[in-house]
Every structure is written in structure tokens, then in C-alpha cells.
Structure 1
């Protein structure tokens, strides 16, 4: 594989483009919004500067990485002659299915189509294409340049050959791939999201406050970040979407989203990306304080 296309230039999309470009791959970063693409390039440059300051990369490495990235607002232009597409659009099943229908029509016959979905069925995505054997999940972790894990998800029809190619490719990115089968939430979010949901229920039922819940999990369970702050970091809307997939996929009430989470998302409190969730985030400040709605 030499040429990669990434669909979406948000947090995950620009991180995925960054990592591929840093490892010498030619990357087409595709987004319908030109401003979003420019913002993504600025983010990648800033993150590369951080790596340079830590001695992980040289200025030449940074320049080469940026030179490997080309941006497109046209999917048709961006996927010409690519060997792999990694879709990193919003976690919405209908949006993803539409994207894969389009990719199937536009991409060369040999192109592997991967999704960075954190919960949506790879089998379902593959079924809307004529190449289900070449459809696979590549679930990168956030922040992509730092986190080592990639969940590699096999759909029902994904071939052994394609799975091996993606496992090998992940190692070339200096990541650790873990192969999992296609069930709701896969491994990471099947375990993580119920924990986050239970933490929200613990707050909802007034067992303890935001800081108290996060402190117990950080100091008592050695988690680097408490579950409520982690939910803010992931995005409360994303957490809600994943819980809905788990609830629908398994039909088990234990996955039902906490009413507090539902209300917060509907009210626009989606976490760090909107400036407020369980905590309040101020641009340019490292100080994070409990949201006023949860202060005693």
C-alpha cells in the first residue's frame, strides 16, 4: 500500500492522516468543508511541533509529513488510485452507509474500504457495497498519534487476506493491532461505555459528585482519567450514539443510556468540544472545573 485516503478531517480524521503521512504514505484527506481541512492541517502542524519539541521527530520529518498530505473537497478526486480508504466521519449509521455506497462506486476495484467506527457493524457497512470481503474496521484510539491500539474488526464477509493486510499495515504504523469479531461495541466500547454510563448513573442518583466519582476511579482503579472527564473528552453525543447501538444490538436494558446523558446531549452540553459537559473547558486554559450545573 502506498496511497491512502481519509474521509473526514475532524479529531480522528486528522489524527489518522497525520500518522499515515508521518510513516511515508501519500495521504488524501477529504472533507466537504474547505475550512475544516485548513483547520485540520493547522492541527497536524501543531501536533508535529509537539513531537519535534520532545525530540521524537526532526524539522525535516515534520516537513516531509506535511508534504505527504493533500486535501480534497471532492471524494471522487480524493480516492483516485488509492489502495485504502479509512472513513472517519461522524458516528451515524446512515451517514456511514451513504459514504460506503459512494466509495464502492468511486474507488478502484482493489481498494480496501475501512471504517474507524467505534461501534457500528462492519458487516452492515460491507453489505451496502459490492466488495464486502474488502470492508474492515480500523478503530484508532484518540489521540491517534499517541495511542498504540488499533481494533481491527472483521465483518462477517471480510477475507483473511484483507485482515492480514490491515494487521500488517497497522504494525508498519508502529501501532498494536488487535483482531476482534463484529459484535456491537466490539471490545473497547462494549466494556468502556457501560462503565461510563454507570458513572453517569452514579451522579444522576446523587451517590457522589463529578470530582468524587472521577477521583475514586483515578486513585482507586489507577485510571489516568476519570470516566466523566473521559466522556467529555470522547464527546457525550458520541457516548450516547454508542450506547444506543449497544442497546439496540443486544436488546439488553443494561445498555440503556442514562436519562441525564440524554438530556445533556439534547441541551447541547456535549463535553470538551462544546466547552461544557460534566466539566467546563476554557479555550487556551489548562484549568478544568466542574460544570456549574453539578456544583453543590
Structure 2
């Protein structure tokens, strides 16, 4: 039975994933390379919990924080039974992390890769536990979205799949199991939509507000594609498109020049305060 969950990477996804487990009483350890990132994560979680309390959450904020540990030491994951990896969409960064985790994690520990587009089989090849590597693609915000896309890689064992589905069920998450492919189901479709919306904006076909209003009002989407890109992070959208372009060698995944310009200029969406829309930080 899983008692200790590790979360590696204290960015937007790591913050949400750690909250999701801590809210259901799991001892949860959030790891990042620097204290500054962990301080931001701690503040973000505290803010989210205060907001949840105003909405009548049944999980008091102090209870969530009681189950959380913030650390820069991978060694603190030595007794974890399940670790969710959320680091940046950079293959070399992930390779180095997976190699480092091999020296720390218990033999039976399962690693859930929360990547946007990188094939899970490739991530498993960086380890000696390919049968215990599985894709756990949480949606943003991870502690609120009800469904997780679970990706079965080439060597993922049935025991790993069963354990993962059971664990997700205990934190109130539904699961959809899919086979391994770059971008899986969700991002293989979504990234094309987001990129095409940016192209429309770049061509002056419509404003950002009008593009999004069409999707919200005509199709019933909770938010339009450009607001969705801002929520995900424009850098993550760009990295995902670059992975899809490289993996499929299909020009339909070629990133918009405007998207690349925004990322180069530090306009990354909600996390930077401005992307296609402006946000309070």
C-alpha cells in the first residue's frame, strides 16, 4: 500500500500534483533543485488552500500543509513507493534526473512521468526499472482536474498499471489508459489546436479575445485555446510542439513564429503575468 509519494519538480504541475496527494493524507515530498522554487511552491499551495477554504473545501489548508515536505534532496525519496516526475520538457534534463533517481529509489518504487509529449518508453530506457515507469499525465490545475491520462509504455507491467490506477482512484481521480505515442491522445490533438490559434492571431484574422470567445460560446469550452496556452505555459506548448515535430517529422507540428517570439521575450502566460492575455501576479 502506498504511503509516501514523491513529486519531483516544483513548477505549476508539481504544485498541483503534490496538493492532490497531500489533500488525501499521503505523506508527500516535493523536490526541486533550489529553495527559491520551493518557496514559490509553498506560497502557491498556501494561496490555493486559502481560496479553497473560501469556497467551502472539506480539506482544511493546514491539513494539506501537514502532509507536505519541501526539500532539495532527492535522497528524501528513498522510501517513497510512487514518484511523479514533472521536470521541464528537456530530454537531457530528464535523462540526468532518471539516472539520479536510480541511485535513490527503492527497487519497487514506481515512477509516473508527467510529461507533455515525450514518449514514456524512452523515459523508461533511462532506468533499470522500465517495467515500473508509466505515464501519469495530469491536467492543469492538477489538484482540481478529475481525470488523468495514464500511458502504458512498451515495458510497463500490468502490476504497475493496476497500482497506478488504484492510487489515482484513492485521490478521487478517474483514469483513461492509452498506449504510448508522442503527445499521447490529449496533447497530440491539443497542441495542434493551440498552435493554429496562435497562427490566426499572428495573421490578424481575429483578436485573441475573439478567437477564444468563439470556442467558449460556440463549442462550450471552459476557456479558449489562447487562454489554455497561457494556463499551460507558452514555453511548455513550444517544447511540446518541438517534440511532436521531431518525433513525427510532420510539418503540421511546426511551431508558430509568434509563439516562439513570445517565449523568447519571456511572455510565458499566467506564470509570468502575461502571455496572450495579462494576469495579476
Check whether TM > 0.5. yes
Residues of 2 paired with 1:168 and 1:226: CA distance?
33
Displacement of 1:179 in angstroms is 0.5
Residues of 1 paired with 2:93 and 2:85: CA distance?
11
Residues of 1 paired with 2:107 and 2:206: CA distance?
55
Superposition pairs of residues 7-26 of structure 1, within 5 angstroms: 7-26=8-27
Residues of 1 paired with 2:36 and 2:195: CA distance?
34
| Alpha-carbon displacement from aligned partner over 1:162-205 (angstroms, at most 9, x marks no partner) | 01110111111101111111101001111111011111111122
Contact between 2:31 and 2:74, CA under 8 Å: does it hold in 1?
yes
Residues of 2 paired with 1:275 and 1:187: CA distance?
29
Residues of 2 paired with 1:168 and 1:17: CA distance?
17
- Asked if 1:188 corresponds to 2:196, the answer is no
- Structure 1 residue ranges, 4+ long, deviating more than 3 angstroms after superposition: none
Residues of 1 paired with 2:107 and 2:3: CA distance?
16
Contact between 2:211 and 2:224, CA under 8 Å: does it hold in 1?
yes
Paired position in structure 1 for 2:235: 237
Residue 221 of structure 1: which of 201, 219, 222 is its match?
Answer: 219
Residue 147 of structure 1: which of 145, 148, 151 is its match?
Answer: 145
Paired position in structure 2 for 1:3: 4
The higher relative CO (CA closer than 8 Å, separation ≥ 6) is in: 2
Residues of 2 paired with 1:49 and 1:212: CA distance?
33
Q: Which runs of 5+ in 1 are unaligned?
A: 284-296
Superposition pairs of residues 1-296 of structure 1, within 5 angstroms: 1-59=2-60, 62-76=61-75, 78-283=76-281
Displacement of 1:121 in angstroms is 1.1
| Alpha-carbon displacement from aligned partner over 1:263-292 (angstroms, at most 9, x marks no partner) | 221222222222222122233xxxxxxxxx
| DSSP-derived class of the 1:106 partner | coil
| DSSP-derived class of the 2:166 partner | helix
Displacement of 1:58 in angstroms is 5.0
Q: Pairwise CA RMSD of aligned residues?
A: 1.3
Residues of 1 paired with 2:31 and 2:52: CA distance?
24
Contact between 2:23 and 2:59, CA under 8 Å: does it hold in 1?
no
Contact between 2:140 and 2:231, CA under 8 Å: does it hold in 1?
no
TM-score (norm 2): 0.96
Residues of 1 paired with 2:113 and 2:59: CA distance?
31
| DSSP-derived class of the 2:184 partner | coil
